[in-house]
Amino acid sequence: MATGFDLAERGFCPVRWRAGQRPETFSPEASLGLVDLLLHAHRIEDVEISPPPALSGFLRILAVLTGRITGLDRMDSFEDWEQAREDLLHAGRFDETAIRRYFDEFSGRFELFHTATAHPFLQDARLLEQCRNPQGDQVSSGVNKLVLNRAAGQAFVWHSQRSARPLHRTSGGKDKGGRHQVGPATGHGLLPSRGQKPLPHAGAGTSLCSVA
């Protein structure tokens, strides 16, 4: 059987529960899937996703799901939308039947991996066949494009220097502060711009300069 990861049911999102609101069926460290996240939204204080760009993107997804499930995206007038929103706020929670009906209707469409579905979530499965180099071989952009704070291609210098492959170091060894320097190695992490000095490698255990 093909390996899959259904974001609707599989836990991937860590949350911070409101005081005394965590159901006994969940451990304090439990991550939730989209269904449980919406079913228990009224019990949850916040989602604990990082880095900030990933959190921003995820909140947009939750906003769209909320609109679809509640019908707020199908109102004919602002007055109708405002009244429906007020009714929802008064209820204090999302309707369980509406949540389950939505995810039943789109069952399988929140599957993450192309090995388990022809429609991987927020991806175009056709790219697997269409992305080829001049020799006709299949190529991949690498895992860095899926991790928002990792550098991919000519990325910004304030992104992480983590790479899918080991970094090459310059033959010079260390800078004046005794730190190893990361040299400009094509395809290996963050590339300094032309004329820019290599970025220092502070070693494992640091947040911004650590290297996978």
Q: Is residue 146 part of a domain?
A: no
For 74-118, the pLDDT digits (tens) are 999 999 999 999 999 999 999 999 999 999 999 989 998 877 777
Domain that holds residue 126: 1-140
pLDDT at res. 154: 57
Cis peptide before 53 (omega within 30 of 0): no
- Regarding whether 157 and 106 lie in a shared domain, the answer is no
Q: Please say whether the beta carbons of 28 and 48 come within 8 A.
A: no
Domain boundary among 92, 113, 140: 140
How many angstroms separate the CA atoms of 37 and 51, rounded?
A: 19
- Regarding whether 47 and 112 lie in a shared domain, the answer is yes
pLDDT at res. 148: 65
For 15-51, the pLDDT digits (tens) are 999 999 999 999 999 999 999 999 999 999 999 988 8
User: Could you tell me if residue 92 is left (phi over 0), alpha (psi between -120 and 50 degrees) or otherwise beta?
Assistant: left
- Regarding whether 157 and 136 lie in a shared domain, the answer is no
Domain boundary among 140, 170, 189: 140
How many angstroms separate the CA atoms of 210 and 212, rounded?
A: 7
For 169-186, the pLDDT digits (tens) are 444 444 454 544 443 333
pLDDT at res. 188: 37
Query: In the predicted model, what is the mean pLDDT of residues 125-142?
Result: 80
| Alpha helices in 43-142, H assignment, sequence order | 52-70, 78-91, 96-105, 127-130
Domain boundary among 80, 115, 140: 140
Closest alpha carbon to 69 in 91, 95, 89, 87: 95
- Regarding whether 157 and 97 lie in a shared domain, the answer is no
Q: What percent of the chain has pLDDT over 90?
A: 44
- Regarding whether 122 and 188 lie in a shared domain, the answer is no
| 200, two tokens | 């220092």
- Regarding whether 83 and 111 lie in a shared domain, the answer is yes
Angle among Cα 86, 87, 88 to the nearest 5 degrees reads 90
Q: How many domains does the chain have?
A: 2
- Regarding whether 202 and 166 lie in a shared domain, the answer is yes
Q: Please say whether the beta carbons of 181 and 172 come within 8 A.
A: yes
